[in-house]
């Protein structure tokens, strides 16, 4: 069925294998024009391989991808003009200054000197690094280097920005700062954004996510929809004796109580969770250390779909 | 494409000049070699034969130029491995300029550095009893340029599929050093064992060495060496084959 809006990226049945080892299988998703899309998965889930296919580094093996309305298989070069790419590893030359790096990048895209200098100034300003133009990249902090990379990716005025684990190695404060810069840029330019991450909280601001595990799509769709598909809000009671407490609550009937390490998860069969939280606090106040009103998270979704906690994906210690 | 290649070549040169230890190492090593070997071996030869000391310093001079070009060309291709590891290469690979820009940028960058360094050493040629005039100098630059492109291409060919610089150093010792040793840079083929002479005949660097040696020995006003055109043609042909092999390798996408 035809949709009203245009797709910035559309992938259909994408698969990839390194030799005989299959790392991606039947991946399908769609990034709307102007939207923000997140490929979320633990390490080793195939995110980076998918990213390398999208950024034209790896040749597409199975399936079809269209970017900015063109087939990736047939037109990789025109697509390269439409995408700005931010790799997980820094793709800037440490021995050059910020400005030299941007100038070099512009030359790779055939930009000419006057227009190029104007664009460099504009992008340095947009990223708040206009005073660092003459500094060697190796002298900058991790957060500032990432800003240089973003300025570089945006220099060629792409319509789609692709970012592979853009905040890797940055501390939480710098990470938050970087995201606010990216969202600021999205507001001022018509830009579709696709990024990968293994951090659950980073996926939240995306319009839609694709949850990957071991090269397969586990779930996809708008974050809010995925969450509501998990069921309702619940109450978590902190407890030193979760088993005993869970059994006690279950005896009440019309209530589900599951013992988890150091807490009990209580889901109302009828009604909403908030009044239940207050009642449980009153009733069991002496036996619990805390009462938390919870909404299902993406982590719950991952656990439900794969049966494993997020932190322990296979192949990881 | 040209702008992209030019920009990549310029980057190569800027990187080189900003790493002072690389500049010093690249210039001082061959001169030190020349002086130590030239002086040391030179005296031994005096005892063995009839030549005086300056003769070996003078004999060894073209070999040193060959060494500079060889090592600069090769060390500038090490950067391919570093670029790949650090991620810089990815950024270039996703640019619309394509593989040709990467190849020609690297070849030009490496070759320009090699020729410039070789020329700085040519400046001291009179001390080795070589007196090139402008005509000879022009031919020297031509031979050195083609040679530098060829050797950078050889380095590129070997560095492209590698993922560690250690592996590349092994290749340097195993391939490039013998190529240099068996080019006539250290000893003329005349007095060596038969099998060594055969190896030297099949070593393309021998022809480059012969061309450089002949040119440097040409005193002002003398005609150019008779075998220059043959030597130079071989160097050009081998360079073309190497550049084409590089193009074939880079144009295949992973």
Residue A308 lies in a domain: no
* Partner A contacted by B230 (CB < 8 A): no
**What's residue A5's pLDDT?**
66
Cα–Cα dist B69/B111, whole Å: 8
Which of the 8 DSSP states describes residue B235? H
Which of the 8 DSSP states describes residue B1? -
Clarify whether residues A241 and A271 are in a common domain: yes
CB contact under 8 A, B96 and A95: no
Please determine, for residue B133, whether its predicted confidence score (pLDDT) is greater than 80. yes
Under DSSP, is residue B45 helix (H, G, I), strand (E, B) or coil? helix
Cα–Cα dist B147/B119, whole Å: 13
Q: Report angle CA B89, B90, B95 to the nearest 5 degrees.
A: 100
In tens, the pLDDT along B76-114 reads 888 889 888 888 888 888 898 878 888 999 999 999 999
Residues in B closer than 8 angstroms to A81, CB to CB, are 96
Please determine, for residue B47, whether its predicted confidence score (pLDDT) is greater than 70. no
Clarify whether residues A158 and A216 are in a common domain: yes
Clarify whether residues A180 and A264 are in a common domain: no
Residue A106 lies in a domain: yes
**What's residue B254's pLDDT?**
47
CB contact under 8 A, B96 and A109: yes
Shortest distance, CA A212 to any CA of chain B (angstroms): 24
Residue A316 lies in a domain: no
**What's residue A4's pLDDT?**
53
Shortest distance, CA B38 to any CA of chain A (angstroms): 37
Measured between alpha carbons, how far is residue B7 from residues A100, A131, B3, B94 in Å? 10, 24, 6, 16
Residue A283 lies in a domain: yes
**What's residue A227's pLDDT?**
79
In tens, the pLDDT along B152-188 reads 999 999 999 888 888 888 888 888 888 998 898 888 8
In tens, the pLDDT along B221-240 reads 888 888 999 999 999 999 99
* Partner B contacted by A232 (CB < 8 A): no
Contact A245, A287 (CB under 8 A): yes
Indicate the residue of A55, A89, A108 with minimum beta-carbon distance to B92: A108
Cα–Cα dist B198/A1, whole Å: 73
What residues in chain A have per-residue pLDDT under 70?
1-5, 311-317
Determine the residue among B4, B96, B251 to mutate to test chain A binding: the one whose Cβ has the most chain A Cβ atoms within 10 Å: B96
Half-sphere exposure of residue B205: CA atoms within 13 angstroms, side-chain side: 26
Clarify whether residues A204 and A65 are in a common domain: yes
* Partner A contacted by B252 (CB < 8 A): no
* Partner A contacted by B84 (CB < 8 A): no
Give how many domains chain A has, as a whole number. 2
Clarify whether residues A274 and A217 are in a common domain: no
CB contact under 8 A, B94 and A55: yes
**What's residue A101's pLDDT?**
94
Determine the residue among B91, B105, B108 to mutate to test chain A binding: the one whose Cβ has the most chain A Cβ atoms within 10 Å: B91
The structure tokens listed for A92 are 């800037």
Residue A70 lies in a domain: yes
The structure tokens listed for A97 are 């200054």
Alpha helices in chain B (DSSP H): 2-18, 20-48, 53-86, 88-93, 98-122, 134-159, 165-171, 177-180, 194-202, 204-217, 228-251
DSSP secondary structure, chain A, as one string: ---SSPEEEEEEEEEEEETTEEEEEEEEEEEETT-EEEEE--TTSSHHHHHHHHTTSSPP-EEEEEETTEETTT-HHHHHHHEEEE-SS--S-TTSBHHHHHHHHHHHTT--HHHHHHHHHHHHHHTT-GGGTTSBGGGS-HHHHHHHHHHHHHTT--SEEEEESTTTT--HHHHHHHHHHHHHHHHHS--EEEEEES-HHHHTTSSEEEEEETTEEEEEEEHHHHHHTT---EEEEE-SSHHHHHHHHHTTSSEEEEEETTEEEEEESSS-HHHHHHHHHHHHTTT-SEEEEE---HHHHHHHHHSS-TT--TT--
In tens, the pLDDT along A190-223 reads 899 999 999 888 888 899 999 999 999 998 999 8
> In the listed set A204, A228, A252, which residue is the last one of a domain according to the structure?
A228
Residue A181 lies in a domain: yes
Please determine, for residue B190, whether its predicted confidence score (pLDDT) is greater than 50. yes
* Partner A contacted by B254 (CB < 8 A): yes
CB contact under 8 A, B96 and A81: yes
Confidence of residue B146 (pLDDT cuts 50, 70, 90): very high
Here the ipTM equals 0.80
Give residue A13's domain range: 7-228
Cα–Cα dist B77/B158, whole Å: 9
**What's residue A14's pLDDT?**
94
**What's residue B201's pLDDT?**
87
Under DSSP, is residue B203 helix (H, G, I), strand (E, B) or coil? coil
Task: Give the CATH number of the domain where residue A117 resides.
Answer: 3.40.50.300
Residue A32 lies in a domain: yes
- Neighbouring CB atoms inside 10 A of B241's CB total 13
Which of the 8 DSSP states describes residue B126? G
Shortest distance, CA B89 to any CA of chain A (angstroms): 7
**What's residue B26's pLDDT?**
77
Clarify whether residues A86 and A191 are in a common domain: yes
């Amino acid at each position: 069925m035809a949709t009203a809006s245009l797709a910035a990226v559309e992938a259909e049945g994408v698969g990839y294998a390194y030799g005989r080892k299959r790392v991606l299988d039947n991946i399908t998703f769609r990034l709307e024009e102007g939207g923000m899309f997140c490929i979320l998965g633990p390490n080793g889930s195939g995110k980076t391989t998918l990213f390398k296919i999208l950024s034209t580094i790896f040749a597409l093996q199975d399936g079809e991808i269209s970017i900015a309305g063109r087939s990736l298989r047939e037109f990789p070069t025109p697509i390269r003009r439409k995408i700005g790419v931010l790799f997980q590893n820094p793709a800037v030359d440490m021995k050059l200054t910020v400005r030299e790096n941007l100038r070099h990048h512009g030359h790779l895209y055939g930009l000419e000197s006057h227009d190029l200098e104007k664009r460099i100034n504009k992008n340095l300003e947009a990223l708040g690094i206009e005073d660092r133009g003459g500094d060697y990249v190796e002298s900058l902090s991790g957060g500032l280097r990432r800003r240089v990379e973003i300025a570089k990716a945006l220099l060629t005025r792409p319509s789609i920005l692709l970012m592979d684990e853009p905040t890797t190695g940055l501390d939480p404060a710098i990470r938050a700062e970087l995201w606010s810069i990216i969202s600021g840029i999205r507001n001022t330019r018509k830009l579709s954004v696709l990024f990968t991450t293994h951090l659950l909280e980073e996926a939240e601001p995306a319009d839609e996510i694709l949850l990957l595990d071991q090269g397969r799509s586990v779930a996809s769709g708008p974050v809010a929809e995925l969450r509501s598909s998990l069921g309702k809000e619940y109450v978590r009671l902190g407890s030193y004796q979760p088993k005993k407490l869970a059994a006690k609550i279950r005896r009440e009937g019309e209530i589900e109580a599951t013992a988890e390490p150091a807490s009990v998860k209580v889901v109302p069969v009828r009604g909403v969770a908030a009044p239940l939280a207050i009642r449980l606090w009153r009733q069991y106040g002496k036996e619990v250390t805390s009462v938390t009103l919870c909404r299902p998270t993406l982590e719950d979704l991952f656990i439900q779909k794969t049966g494993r906690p997020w932190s322990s994906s296979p192949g990881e210690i | 494409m040209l702008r992209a290649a030019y920009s990549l070549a310029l980057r190569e040169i800027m990187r080189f000049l900003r790493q002072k230890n690389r500049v010093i190492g690249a210039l001082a090593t061959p001169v030190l070699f020349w002086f130590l070997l030239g002086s040391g071996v030179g005296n031994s030869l005096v005892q063995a034969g009839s030549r005086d000391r300056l003769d070996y310093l003078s004999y060894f001079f073209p070999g040193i130029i060959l060494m500079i070009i060889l090592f600069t060309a090769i060390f500038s291709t090490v950067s391919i491995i570093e670029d790949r590891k650090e991620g810089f290469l990815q950024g270039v690979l996703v640019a619309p300029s394509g593989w040709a820009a990467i190849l020609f940028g690297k070849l030009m960058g490496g070759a320009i550095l090699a020729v410039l360094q070789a020329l700085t050493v040519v400046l001291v040629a009179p001390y080795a009893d070589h007196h090139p005039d402008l005509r000879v100098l022009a031919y020297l630059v031509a031979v050195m340029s083609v040679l530098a492109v060829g050797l950078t291409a050889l380095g590129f060919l070997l560095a492209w599929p590698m993922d560690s610089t250690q592996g590349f150093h092994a290749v340097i010792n195993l391939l490039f050093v013998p190529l240099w040793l068996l080019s006539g840079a250290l000893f003329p083929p005349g007095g060596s064992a038969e099998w060594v002479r055969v190896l030297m005949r099949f070593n393309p660097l021998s022809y480059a060495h012969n061309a450089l040696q002949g040119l440097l020995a040409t005193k002002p006003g003398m005609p150019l060496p008779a075998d220059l055109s043959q030597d130079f043609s071989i160097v050009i042909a081998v360079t073309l084959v190497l550049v084409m092999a590089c193009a074939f390798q880079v144009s295949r996408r992973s």
